[in-house]
């Protein structure tokens, strides 16, 4: 009987190794087709020729320009070059990265003073959620995204709560790495940097201190510049394909991107048309689209066992978000600033992913990078309440 958080992590590791072995030697496993197999094949080609612009073997060459979103298979190709181009090894590497993300999540819970019971429940879901098991055991970017999201949020909390200057280097390294993996994650990283500066300024005000005029002159333009660069980067690298256009307004790019995805017809698509003709229309579109992204498929859309599992995970998500609502009503803003930050991070990530997703088959993957954040805020109420009871005793 497993009774410890560490035991759950190693159980999750064992289950993922089983999936990785199946995928590598028998397979393919669930979730190992599509992007996962493409990333592996590109990585194999890279492993034989580490030239960034040309990959291939002997006289056969394939031109595949290195760009944002394709750094992962190139790095995986370097790993294959030093080991062997084995699908099992690529999948095993994803499992190792997932384990690292789990231990970082434990550090976050300890930093936020979560009790042992809450830590155990959080890790139980984190380690055994079916979609997480299948998608963090194959050659996808999701386990790496999950690791970097957890690491960057942990770095921000260390900077804010422990005034650790060292973790600025960790945060900036994580932001750069996230940007290499996906354009949307770079925007998330920019938000983390800006949010950290703002939270530090609020802490200064609480202690009776204020930023000097010189600091304000240096920091404010930096924040504006970083935000503008982040938005520009996001538009170019997240909505530059699928006919989104490069010289359009942001809402046009989102509409064009979604319309391009609709041409890739799939059974699990939850929309067949999109109309976004203004900024106001985009503001209306975002919450409706986010709702579908979070909770599709609806019961009347279910067609197979995969849909049933996704729906059950969505029901769990509803329960967890309900716990978040209870927690938000339970304590003052003053006592939950760090956890509010984690909640905003979760909502921002999910909103960004939703703008580029039209099917629950892809949505189930995109929920993974923010899984740890959702669990943290969902169990904040029980963790805080238990801590208060212990203090009274």
For the segment 204-210, the average pLDDT, to the nearest whole number, is 58
**Rounded distance between C-alpha atoms, residue 376 and residue 374, angstroms:** 5
192 is written with which tokens?
């983390």
**Furthest CA-CA distance within the chain:** 75
Q: What is the pLDDT of residues 168-187, one digit of tens each?
A: 999 999 999 998 888 888 88
Q: How far apart are the first and last CA of the chain?
A: 30
State the chain's mean pLDDT as an integer.
Answer: 83
Q: Which of 233, 255, 230 is nearest to 244 (CA)?
A: 255
Which carries the bigger pLDDT value, residue 134 or residue 68? 134
**Rounded distance between C-alpha atoms, residue 28 and residue 7, angstroms:** 28
For the segment 133-155, the average pLDDT, to the nearest whole number, is 96
Q: Is 88 within 8 Å of 29 (Cβ atoms)?
A: no
Percent of the chain at pLDDT exceeding 70: 79
Give the pLDDT of residue 269: 86
Q: What is the pLDDT of residues 32-80, one digit of tens each?
A: 888 899 899 989 988 887 765 554 433 344 445 556 667 899 899 999 9
Q: What is the pLDDT of residues 73-127, one digit of tens each?
A: 989 999 999 999 999 999 999 999 999 999 999 999 999 999 999 999 999 999 9
**Rounded distance between C-alpha atoms, residue 33 and residue 41, angstroms:** 11
Burial bucket for residue 214 (CB in 10 Å: 0-12, 13-18, 19+): exposed
Q: Between the CA of residue 189 and those of 155, 162, 192, 198, what are the distances in Å?
A: 12, 20, 5, 14
**Rounded distance between C-alpha atoms, residue 13 and residue 358, angstroms:** 31
Domain residue ranges of the chain, discontinuous segments joined by +: 5-32+94-392
């Amino acid at each position: 009987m497993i009774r410890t958080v560490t035991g759950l992590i190693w159980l999750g590791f064992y289950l993922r190794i089983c999936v990785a072995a199946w995928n590598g030697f028998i397979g393919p496993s669930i979730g190992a087709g599509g992007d996962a197999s493409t990333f592996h094949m590109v990585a194999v080609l890279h492993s034989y020729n580490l030239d960034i612009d040309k990959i291939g073997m002997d006289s056969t060459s394939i031109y595949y320009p290195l760009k944002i979103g394709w750094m992962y298979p190139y790095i995986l190709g370097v790993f294959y070059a030093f080991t062997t181009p084995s699908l099992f090894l690529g999948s095993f590497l994803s499992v190792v990265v997932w384990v690292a993300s789990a231990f970082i999540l434990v550090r976050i819970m300890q930093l936020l003073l979560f009790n042992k019971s809450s830590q155990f429940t959080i890790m139980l879901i984190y380690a055994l959620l079916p979609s997480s098991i299948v998608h963090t055991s194959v050659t996808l970017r999701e386990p790496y995204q999950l690791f970097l999201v957890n690491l960057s949020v942990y770095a921000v909390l260390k900077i804010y709560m422990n005034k650790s200057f060292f973790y600025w280097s960790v945060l900036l390294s994580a932001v750069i790495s996230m940007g290499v993996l996906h354009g949307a994650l770079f925007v998330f990283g920019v938000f983390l940097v800006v949010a950290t500066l703002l939270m530090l300024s609020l802490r200064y005000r609480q202690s009776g201190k204020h930023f000097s005029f010189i600091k304000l002159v240096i920091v404010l333009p930096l924040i504006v510049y970083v935000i503008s660069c982040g938005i520009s980067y996001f538009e170019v690298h997240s909505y530059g394909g699928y006919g989104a256009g490069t010289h359009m307004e942001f809402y046009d790019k989102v509409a064009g991107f979604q319309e391009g995805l609709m041409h890739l017809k799939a059974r699990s698509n939850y929309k067949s048309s999109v109309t976004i003709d203004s900024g106001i229309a985009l503001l209306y579109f975002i919450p409706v689209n986010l709702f579908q992204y979070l909770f599709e498929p609806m019961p009347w859309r279910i067609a197979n066992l995969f849909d049933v599992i996704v729906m059950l995970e969505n029901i769990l998500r509803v329960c967890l978000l309900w716990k978040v609502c209870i927690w938000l009503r339970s304590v003052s803003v003053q006592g939950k600033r760090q956890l509010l930050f984690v909640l905003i991070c979760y909502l921002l990530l999910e909103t960004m992913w939703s703008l580029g997703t039209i099917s629950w088959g892809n949505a189930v993957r995109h929920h993974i990078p923010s899984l740890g954040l959702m669990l943290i805020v969902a169990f904040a109420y029980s963790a805080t309440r238990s801590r208060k009871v212990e203090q009274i005793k």
